[in-house]
Structure 1
C-alpha cells in the first residue's frame, strides 16, 4: 500500500489583547491568575521574550505588579530570566503545550472523520509550532491506496498545503525571515524553492481561499488545506490523496466542505466542545 508522509514570529494583535483584557475583567475569576496568563500570552505574541517595560506598555499594568507576577512565574518554571534581565517563556510550558496539542487532536478527530466520509480521502490537522508544521491528528482514507502521516511528525512548511494555509495570513517579512532560518529544500522537482515563489503561492491562497500542495512534497500526491479560523493556536486542516483522485473538479467540491468543517471545529474549540459536526 503506497503511503505519503503528508508534510502537508508573531506580532502582537491589539484587538486580541483587548479581548483578553475584557474577558479577564468580566469573568469573575482570580485576578492575579488572569493577569499572569495574560502576561504569558503577551510574551508569546511578542515572540517569547520581552522586557518588563514592554509588558507594562502592552498590558497597562504597573511595573511593580508585573515584576511580582513574573517572579512567581519564574519560581514555577513557566518563565525564565536571562542575564540581560529580559524574560522568556520557560521549559515547563512545553509539557503543557504537548498535552494540549494531543487534546486538540482528539477534539478534531470527529471533524476529520466527516471529511473522510464525504471526500473519501485522508484528513489531517496540523499546527504551526515555531518554524515547523506539526501534525496533531489524522483520520485515514478507506481506500487501499491512501496517504499516511504519523501524528507528531514535524516538517518544514514551504512544500506543504497546511504550511501554506498556516502562513497565508502572516506578513511577508515574517515569512521571509522564517524561510531564511529553515531553508527551502526541494522534495520533488515541483517544490517551491524561492521566497518569491512561496510568497506568490501565499497570495494565491488568500485569493482562492485554500492552499494546495500539487506534487510538491511527493510526486503523484495532492493536498488541499484551509486554516481553522479563530483557533487558539494557528491550525489548519487538510485532505490528501493521489493526484488522480484529488482533481480540479474534486477540489471545487471539497473546498466548501472543508471551510464548513473548519468553522464547526473553530466553534467547538472556542466552547471546549468535543462532539463532531
Structure 2
C-alpha cells in the first residue's frame, strides 16, 4: 500500500502550486524557464505542478505551446473575497497601535471617483469625539489632507486625469503648487477653509509606484497646533503607513523590487532625521 505523503510535504506542495499560479497570473503568462527563474521552484517540480494545475482547469498552454497562462477559472478563487473585511482586519491592529502612540484618531482613506472616502478608522477606540458619524464620510481631493496626499504621490498620468475632473482650470496652477509643497513637507495638510474646523495631516500608503490608500490623522488645532502634531506624530504615522503598505504588497503579490522599503513622503535627506 502506498504511503501517504507527510503533512509537511503536502503543505509545501500546496504552497508551491499557489505560488506558481500567482507567478503566472502576475506575469500575464510565462514560459517554463521564466517560471523556474521567477518562482525559484526546480524545473521538474514546475512541470509537475503545471500538469496538475492544467488538469484542474486553472492554467493552459498557449496555442504556440511555449507560454502558460491562467484561465477564467482562477476568478473563482477570489469570488468570496471581501475587501472591506480584509481591510478592517488588516488595518485594525495597525490603527490601534497608532492611536496609542499619538492619541488622535486616524482613518484609512481610499479613492472613490473624484473624492476620497473613509474605509477604516480607529475613531470608535478614541476618547476624542471628532465627527463621530464618520462612516462613508467623503472629502474633496484638492482640499482635504488625504486627497492632497493622494494627488501628490500618485503617478503623473493619474494626477492629471483626476485634476481635470475635480479642479477648475483656473485653479489648477494653485493646486499644483500646493501638491509640490505637500511633497516637500512630507504630508498632506487639510485646507483650513473646509468645514468642520478640524485639522488633519495625511501620508500615502504605497503599492509599488501607485497609491493604494492614504492614512490620515485628525486633530483639533485649538488643542494642538499642526506644527506640534507634525513634529510629534508624523514618524508614527509614517510607520503605520509602511505597515499597511506591506499588507497591500502581500495581498497583490508585489515583487521584491516594489516592496515598501522606503516611504516616498520622506525626502532623502530626512530618512534618518526626526520630522
- TM-score, scaled to structure 1: 0.58
**The residue matched to 2:216 in structure 1 has which SS?**
strand
Among 238, 243, 250, which residue is 1:264 paired with? 243
Q: Is the 8 A contact 2:212 2:248 kept in 1?
A: no
Report the secondary structure of 1:228's partner residue.
strand
CA separation in 1, counterparts of 2:25 and 2:74? 13
Q: Secondary structure at the match of 2:92?
A: helix
Find the residue that maps to 2:153 and give its secondary structure: coil
Work out which of the residue numbers 214, 220, 242 in structure 2 matches 1:242.
220
Per the alignment, residue 103 of structure 1 pairs with 86
Give the SS at the match of 2:214. strand
Q: What SS is found at the alignment partner of 1:194?
A: helix
Structure 1 position 169 matched with structure 2 position 153 = yes
Contact 2:151 2:179 in 1 (8 A): yes
Q: Which residue of 2 is the match for residue 126 of structure 1? A: 109
- The residue aligned with 1:217 is 194
Residue ranges of structure 2 left out of the alignment (5+ in a row): 1-14, 30-60, 252-275
CA shift for structure 1 position 225: 0.5
Q: Is this contact kept in 1: 2:206–2:245, CA < 8 A?
A: yes
TM-score scaled by length of structure 2: 0.58
What are the Cα deviations for residues 81-103 of structure 1, in whole angstroms up to 9, with x where unaligned? xxxxxxxxxxx999778x22331
- 1:167 shift after superposition: 1.9
Q: CA RMSD in A?
A: 3.9
Shift of residue 69, structure 1, vs aligned partner:
5.7
If you compute each CA radius of gyration, which structure gives the higher value, 1 or 2?
Answer: 2
Return the alpha-carbon distance in structure 2 between the equivalents of residues 262 and 204 of structure 1: 20
Shift of 1:29: 3.9
Alignment of 1:1-277 (within 5 A): 29=18, 34-36=23-25, 38-39=27-28, 72-73=71-72, 99-140=82-123, 141-143=126-128, 145-148=129-132, 150-172=134-156, 174-183=158-167, 194-230=171-207, 234-247=212-225, 248-270=227-249
Q: 1:138 touches 1:149 (CA, 8 Å); kept in 2?
A: no
Q: Distance in 2 between matches of 1:157 and 1:94?
A: 30
Deviates more, 1:163-172 or 1:145-154: 145-154
* 2: CA distance, partners of 1:172 / 1:29: 34
Give 1:38 deviation, angstroms.
4.5
Residue 104 of structure 1 deviates from its aligned partner by 1.4
1:123 to 1:36, Cα distance in 2 relative to 1, 3 A:
same
- CA drift of 1:36 comes to 3.9
Contact 2:145 2:188 in 1 (8 A): yes
**Secondary structure of the corresponding residue to residue 205 of structure 1:** helix
Equivalent pairs, count: 201
